[in-house]
Amino acid sequence: MEETRRLPVHVSIIMDGNGRWAKERGKERVYGHFEGVESVRACTEAAVETGVKYLSLFAFSEENWGRPDQEVNTLMELMFKSMQNELPTFLKNDIRFVVLGNRARLSDKLNAGIDDLMARTASCSRLTLIVFLSYSGKWDILQAARKMAEAGADDLEPFLVTAGFPDPDFIIRTSGEQRLSNFLLWQGAYSEFYFTDILWPDFRKDAFREALAEYARRDRRYGKVK
């Protein structure tokens, strides 16, 4: 197979291990999140460089609301600031920015910032960067099922928040944990999984490229024989 055909169209990452990374250094957990933003930047650049069309990141789960207020607030503030800071980079590199999740739980300020960034980058097409915020797979399926019933429809997929975006070909999880943690339950039905011990703040360009190399070696059959 040609190399280009072995490149995943959509890479999705469960960014894990920020807290442990900080703890190893005797610092507060939030310090790991700050450093994690650098990995977001590095992987976004690597996605553009390698030709991946969709990069999605599990930044905050519905379950994460249960963390201490101080950590939740810092994370939300970090999302807001990072988004504002990255606008010039997104426009320069033709990156479309999208946030998916239960946005009703986000603050008005954050939602306004998200809407603004999504509108300003709406026509960018080199890479679509999807940030999952206040997202969980079960929540997504439930809200889609409600809408499907209301519409009297018989296909769930058009009602998932990911409608219109391709399913992830490749789901990466950092920090040694080997589970899906209520992420893309429906959309990940045929995804290839990749687990690495590297903690998210250390997952930079080389690690991203190494993961893609592993993907290229996989044989995807979608339940069929080849």
Q: Give catalytic residue positions.
A: 16, 64
Site string for ligand FPP, 23-42 (x = CB under 6 A): ----------x--xx--x--
For ligand FPP, the nearest residue by Cβ is 19
CB atoms within 10 A of CB 55: 24
The mark string for 60-89 relative to ligand FPP (x by CB under 6 A, - otherwise) is: ----x----------x--xx--xx------
- Please report how close the Cβ of residue 98 comes to ligand FPP at its closest, in angstroms: 11
User: What span, in angstroms and rounded, lies between the C-alpha atoms of 89 and 119?
Assistant: 15
Instruction: Return the residue of 10, 13, 18, 208 that touches ligand FPP, per CB under 6 A.
Output: 18
Which DSSP string corresponds to 24-69?
HTT--HHHHHHHHHHHHHHHHHHHHHHT-SEEEEEEEEGGGGGS-H
**Residue 199 · residue 178 · CB < 8 Å:** no
- Residue 144 Cβ vs ligand FPP, minimum distance, rounded to whole Å: 24
> Given the DSSP bridges, would you call strands 54-61 and 127-135 parallel, antiparallel or unpaired?
parallel
Binding residue (CB under 6 A) for ligand FPP from 95, 130, 131, 161:
131
Measured from the CB of residue 35, what is the shortest distance to ligand FPP in angstroms? 8
Q: Whats the size of the chain, residue-wise?
A: 226
The binding track of 91-130 with respect to ligand FPP, each residue x by CB under 6 A or -, is: ----------------------------------------
Closest to ligand FPP by CB, 8 vs 19, is 19
> Smaller CB distance to ligand FPP: residue 59 or 144?
59
Scan residues 159-198 and list those touching ligand FPP (CB under 6 A): 175
- Read out DSSP for 122-161? TT--SEEEEEEEEE-HHHHHHHHHHHHHHHT-S-SGGGST
First to last CA, the chain: 13
Shortest approach of ligand FPP to residue 41 CB, angstroms?
9
Nearest Cα neighbor of 201 from 26, 18, 42 is 18
Where on the chain is the footprint of ligand FPP (CB under 6 A)? 15-20, 33, 36-37, 40, 57, 59, 64, 75, 78-79, 82-83, 131, 175
